[in-house]
């Protein structure tokens, strides 16, 4: 059970922004290895209350052990997608909260356990589901989606320049036989990308794997929905801290926070405001917070992390 190992990113910074206190109520939308949860519990001792979400049962099973001392008294774990955070929180009696954490993306065990089929680094059947009770898998997309659908996903969610060539190569290959494994897919992608482009920018299949993972788990739509609901749950002065790991996630976090903080949108030549909009929030981090050099060195996966924080008025 404790082979579950995930090094928490921006731990102290994230929790400090939430200003934990003993009367506080917090939601961790991405429990994972429970790093942020544990720190929040410690810093809001003795009475701070936490509600934690994960859609991955492996993470929840591990957390039941790690958080055993707090389970009956201060922490509640739910197996749910954070896109349901509003309803689930109310069902659990969390009608208003002081802080919400999102530490997006996948945990290290999801990447590193070969049979989860997330990574081109291990040969396994294509899968990529964070919640293994869902139907949609990467295997299904790669073998059943049209060339046009695949190309669109690679372009939108992977920002992959060679999306058309790759989609065409996949459709051609699967006409002979099903594409079953991460290694088979990685080889097809590699073969479809021009040799010169293969030499830069990391593993040639990185963007395609990211795109499939986002589509399988509907990650960006879930994030949009969850940020809105989390903001509704916040008490005045309450904060959302969101850590993203790629530009598509960061753009959603940034634009959603800006929308919360936006005031009057009337044209500048209107003598008085007609729209009646007032800001509902203040941006706490004008620029995103990045991991220190030390953290980036000791945990290379932290390199792309960006933390943004918003506070409700």
Q: Which residues bind ligand SAM (CB under 6 A)?
A: 6, 8, 30, 32-36, 53-56, 59, 81-83, 103, 105-107, 130, 222
Nearest to 134, CA basis, from 22, 219, 249, 231 = 219
Comparison of 63 and 192: residue with beta carbon closer to ligand SAM:
63
Query: Which residue from 146, 200, 162 is spatially nearest to 154, judged by alpha carbons?
Result: 162
Kindly report the number of other CB atoms within 10 A of residue 112's CB atom. Answer: 16
Least separation in angstroms between CB 157 and ligand SAM: 14
Q: How far is the CB of 240 from ligand SAM (least distance, A)?
A: 14
> Which residue's CB is nearer to ligand SAM, number 60 or number 189?
60
Pick the closer one to ligand SAM by CB: 24 or 35. Answer: 35
CB-nearer residue toward ligand SAM: 129 or 173 = 129
* Bond from prior residue into 23 cis (ω within 30 degrees of 0): no
Minimum CB distance to ligand SAM, residue 250 (Å): 15
Question: Of 5 and 22, which CB lies nearer to ligand SAM in the complex structure?
Answer: 5
Q: Which is nearer to ligand SAM, 32 or 204 (CB)?
A: 32
Long-range contacts of 68-76 (CB under 8 A, 24+ apart): 70/41, 74/41, 74/47, 74/48, 74/49, 74/50, 75/37, 75/41, 75/49, 75/50, 75/51, 76/49, 76/50, 76/51, 76/52
Q: How far apart are CA 50 and CA 44, in angstroms?
A: 10
Residue 136: CA count within 13 A, CB half-sphere: 10
- Residue 110 CB, shortest distance to ligand SAM, in Å, is 6
The nearest distance, CB 60 to ligand SAM, in angstroms, is 9
Please state the closest distance from residue 268 (CB atom) to ligand SAM, in A: 39
């Amino acid at each position: 059970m404790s082979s579950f190992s995930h090094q928490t990113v921006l731990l102290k910074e994230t929790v400090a922004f939430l200003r934990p206190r003993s009367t506080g109520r917090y939601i961790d939308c991405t429990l994972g290895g429970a790093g942020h949860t544990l720190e929040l519990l410690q810093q809001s001792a003795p009475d701070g209350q936490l509600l934690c979400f994960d859609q991955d049962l492996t993470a929840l099973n591990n957390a039941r052990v790690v958080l055993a001392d707090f389970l009956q008294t201060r922490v509640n774990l739910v197996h749910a997608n954070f896109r349901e955070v509003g309803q689930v929180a109310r069902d659990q009696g969390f009608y208003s909260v002081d802080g919400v954490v999102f530490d997006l993306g996948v945990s290290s065990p999801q990447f590193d356990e070969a049979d989860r089929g997330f990574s081109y680094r291990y040969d396994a059947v294509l899968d990529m589901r964070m919640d293994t009770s869902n139907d949609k898998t990467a295997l299904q997309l790669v073998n059943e989606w049209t060339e046009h659908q695949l190309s669109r996903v690679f372009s939108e969610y992977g920002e992959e320049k060679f999306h058309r060539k790759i989609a065409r190569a996949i459709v051609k290959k699967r006409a002979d036989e099903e594409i079953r494994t991460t290694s088979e897919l990685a080889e097809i992608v590699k073969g479809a990308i021009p040799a010169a482009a293969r030499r830069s920018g990391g593993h040639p299949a990185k963007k395609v794997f990211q795109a499939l993972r986002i589509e399988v788990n509907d990650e960006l739509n879930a994030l949009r929905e969850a940020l809105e609901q989390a903001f509704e749950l916040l008490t005045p002065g309450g904060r959302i801290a969101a850590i993203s790991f790629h530009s598509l996630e960061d753009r959603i976090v940034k634009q959603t926070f800006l929308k919360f903080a936006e005031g009057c949108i009337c044209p500048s030549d209107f003598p008085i405001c007609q729209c009646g909009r007032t800001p509902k929030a203040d941006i706490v981090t004008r620029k995103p917070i990045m991991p220190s050099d030390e953290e980036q060195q000791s945990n290379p996966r932290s390199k792309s992390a960006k933390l943004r924080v918003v506070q409700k008025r």
